[in-house]
Amino acid sequence: MIGCGRPLAVPLSLLPIFLAIQYNLLHGNCQNPGGAGVYYLTLAVVYWLPVFVSAEPCLIFTESLNYCQQNKNLRINAFVIMPTHTHIIVFDADFDNKRTKFDYLHDNPRRKGLVHEAADWRFSSAAYWLREQVTDCDVRLTGVAW
């Protein structure tokens, strides 16, 4: 994560994108001002540039999510990192238990033709939730009762 932990070399041309994503995650723009629930977030890269095409930028993003979970009380139920955008399901104490967004989020790489099965996309929580055998995940996930 930029500015927290080990320094990472981010190309100057990509720096505004990473700073915008981190600002949104770290400075409370995702906080719920009223009640509680589950939130489906989509973060798009400026001009839909394909930034998340290698492991390094994806790992910067996953480190940011882990930081928010550890330091901002954010709970992450599911995520997927696509080349030009991300989807995340976060939650707090009370939430709607519908799986519509959960299933949509995980199936996104398969629908876009990037993999044959949603669980095959590395930067997604699909394998963690959908495969019978527990697999490693780049982000610490928190379960909810669907």
More confident residue, 41 or 120: 120
Which range of residues forms the domain containing residue 120? 1-9+37-146
**pLDDT tens digits for 29-72?**
444 444 556 677 888 888 888 989 999 999 988 988 888 888 77
* 14 occurs within a structural domain: no
Q: What is the CATH number of the domain that holds 116?
A: 3.30.70.1290
Please tell me the distance from the alpha carbon of residue 68 to that of residue 9, in angstroms, as a whole number: 21
* 29 occurs within a structural domain: no
Q: What is the pLDDT of residue 138?
A: 86
Q: What is the pLDDT of residue 68?
A: 81
Q: Which long-range contacts (CB under 8 A, 24 or more apart) does 27-32 make?
A: 28/72, 30/74, 30/90, 32/92
* 21 occurs within a structural domain: no
pLDDT at 88 over 60: yes
Confidence of residue 5 (pLDDT cuts 50, 70, 90): very low
* 81 occurs within a structural domain: yes
Angle formed at CA 58 by CA 55 and CA 61, multiple of 5 degrees: 150
Domain count, the chain: 1
**pLDDT tens digits for 132-144?**
776 778 888 887 7
DSSP 117: S
Q: What is the pLDDT of residue 104?
A: 81
* 73 occurs within a structural domain: yes
- Kindly report the pTM of this predicted structure: 0.52
